[in-house]
Amino acid sequence: MKRWSVLVLAMFVLCAGLTSTAQAKIEVEGDVYVGIWDKYLWRGFDLSDGRPTLQGGIDLTAGNWTLSTWHNWQLSSGPTKNSGELNETDIILTYAFDLGDMISMTVGDIWYSLDNREFGVTEDTNELFATATLNTLLAPTLKVSWDWDAAEEEGLFYSFDISHSLDLGQWLPNSALNLGALVSYNQHADGTVGDYAGWHNYELSTSLDYALTDQLTVSPIFIFSSPISSAAKDAIDTETVAALNLTFTF
């Protein structure tokens, strides 16, 4: 029941946003994507027994509102995972707006439907989040997440990242190289990450977007993640993850 309640609420809020702009022309755009990953890595946690997964989702945007779904399928059996099982579904509702010309904001909620037995999370949970991006070189972005559902303490998780995209059209037509770096801090997000306060992990990422058509893009992806604090080192290991993703925009 909780799953459908959250979905209905998300649809209601999105429809309310659309209704408020009913006098204007409503345009819906979005994307559909699917990728093969050599493991499911989330905030440094290996949630697939180091086995490959299939990950995909849909994003629908109308005005400032975006409704998304994301799914993870296990492709190979492991100690705590069975091949073919759908072990996570996320539903995300966001609202984006600008604070002047220099700052872009996003607020939203992620509803996690989880079956991560190795991680010890089998109950659904919700996480509110807010991001602020400075519209300048490297697009520095601060994200604050609050697990208001399962956490028994503060339940806060912070991340700060920078990114840059390089147009490779001069050497490889219809392509772009994306580079990113992230650092995170955990403040007793015991419902999802762990009951400790300290630096959690850092990540270095790179991907190459190659446009097959105006709407279809293929992207090889590579991410390196490593824990920072001693508490984080007790919870996660240094990991790498690679993927090949296909995205269709409309």
CA neighbor of 184 nearest in space, from 65, 73, 67, 41: 41
In contact, 193 and 187? CB cutoff 8 Å: no
H or E element at residue 10: helix 2-19
- Mean pLDDT within 163-187: 97
Q: Look at the chain and report how many structural domains it folds into.
A: 1
What phi and psi values does residue 132 have, to the nearest 5 degrees? Answer: -130, 125
CA distances from 231 to 148, 234, 247 (A): 22, 5, 37
Query: What's the domain range around 208?
Result: 2-249
- What is the rounded CA–CA span in Å between residue 22 and residue 189? 40
CA distances from 146 to 24, 107, 108, 110 (A): 34, 11, 11, 10
Looking at the predicted structure, is the pLDDT value of residue 233 above 50?
yes
More confident residue, 54 or 118: 54
Structure confidence by residue, pLDDT tens digits, 28-39? 999 999 999 999
What tens digit of pLDDT does each residue of 118-158 get? 444 457 899 999 999 999 999 999 999 999 998 999 999 99
Residue 182, strand partner residues: 161, 203
In the 3-class helix/strand/coil scheme, how is 180-238 assigned residue by residue?
A: EEEEEEEECCCCCCCCCEEEEEEEEEEEEEEECCCCEEEEEEEEEEEECCHHHHHHCCC
Q: Provide the 3-class DSSP secondary structure of residue 225.
A: strand
Does residue 15 surpass a pLDDT of 80? no
Supply the pLDDT for residue 119.
46
Which CATH number characterizes residue 100's domain? 2.40.160.40
Instruction: With cut-offs at 50, 70 and 90, classify the pLDDT of residue 21.
Output: low
Task: Say how far residue 230 (Cα) sits from the centre of its chain.
Answer: 25
**What per-residue confidence (pLDDT) applies to 118?**
46
Whose tokens are 């419902």? That residue is 191
Is a pLDDT exceeding 60 seen at residue 103? yes
Range name among 5-9, 126-130, 231-235 with the lowest pLDDT average: 5-9
C-alpha span between 96 and 63 (Å, rounded): 9
Tell me, what's the pLDDT at 43? 97
